[in-house]
Amino acid sequence: MAKMKKIVVIGGTSGIAHACMRIWNQNAVEITLVVRDKDKGQLIADDLRVRNPNSIIDILETNFLDAKRVLSTVQTVESAGAPDIVLIAHGSLPDQQKCEENLDEAQAALVINGVSPVLFAEAFAKGMLKRDYGQLAVIGSVAGDRGRKSNYVYGSAKGLVARYVQGMQHRLAATNVKIVLIKPGPTLSPMTHHLASQGAKGLASPEEVADVIVNGMEKGKTVIYAPKKWKLIMLIIMHIPDFIFKKINI
């Protein structure tokens, strides 16, 4: 009997992560959901178990903000078996104005969206490097490609993620460890529910984004824009001259 693929998802209640897990779960897999809220994680786990009773679904609740807890969590996960795939998917979409007015809000947004994901990535990369095996995918955002006045706190956190992952890719280029940077565009999820309720248009479905992510990972891509159109959109945005960009209300 073939060994089941072992997948670890940090931020297992993320809408995009849930959609990715549904795709992987079409075959019998072993998935560990690392979550901040075990009750919410249980709902996701129950959904996956119903869809494929042959899969093994575990839940681990932890603190995402403390470096020591991040390390001990990764050690706990790896003690149960080396993961084939790790998807780091957690984050929150802060209120830009609140972050401007309150430094505590800004700090919290920067830590959960930037510092925490890269700490998890570093901890998992250490084990993968020792084994010279594994695929580590980190969800950033198109918001990290260029700072914009409407969301520069969130965007700067995701910019940190992008640069950190790029450095890891460079560091591990000569190994069999595969590091993937994922850049979703605006996606309909619990994190963006308030945007949809305010009439925001053009939000991609989690299923559409997840399909691009999973296919891209299977093909060995190092950077994945999801949906794919965002690669061109952000290429254009990044090359708008500064004197013009400053006049644009985005």
CATH number of the domain within which 172 lies:
3.40.50.720
Count of alpha carbons within 13 angstroms of residue 207, beta-carbon side: 1
Instruction: Compute φ and ψ for 212, nearest 5 degrees.
Output: -65, -40
Residue 91 in contact with residue 139, Cβ under 8 Å?
Answer: yes
* 97-126 average pLDDT score: 98
Determine the pLDDT at residue 139.
98
10 Å Cβ neighbour count for 78?
20
Exposure b/e, 2-13, CB count within 10 A at least 16 = b: eebebbbbbbbb
- In this predicted structure, the answer to whether residue 1 has a pLDDT above a threshold of 80 is no
Determine the pLDDT at residue 132.
98
Band (pLDDT 50/70/90 cuts) for residue 250 is: confident
Band (pLDDT 50/70/90 cuts) for residue 201 is: low
Range of the structural domain that residue 181 is part of: 5-245
- In this predicted structure, the answer to whether residue 195 has a pLDDT above a threshold of 70 is no
Determine the pLDDT at residue 236.
96
Show the beta-strand stretches assigned E in the chain.
5-10, 29-35, 56-61, 85-88, 134-139, 177-184, 223-226
How many domains is the chain partitioned into structurally?
A: 1
Is 46 a domain residue? Answer: yes
pLDDT digits (tens, 9 = 90+) for 136-174: 999 999 999 999 999 999 999 999 999 999 999 999 999
Distance from C-alpha of 146 to C-alpha of 158, rounded to nearest angstrom: 10
Determine the pLDDT at residue 202.
75
Is 250 a domain residue? Answer: no
Peptide bond into 206 cis (omega under 30): no
pLDDT digits (tens, 9 = 90+) for 70-107: 999 999 999 999 999 999 999 999 999 999 999 999 99
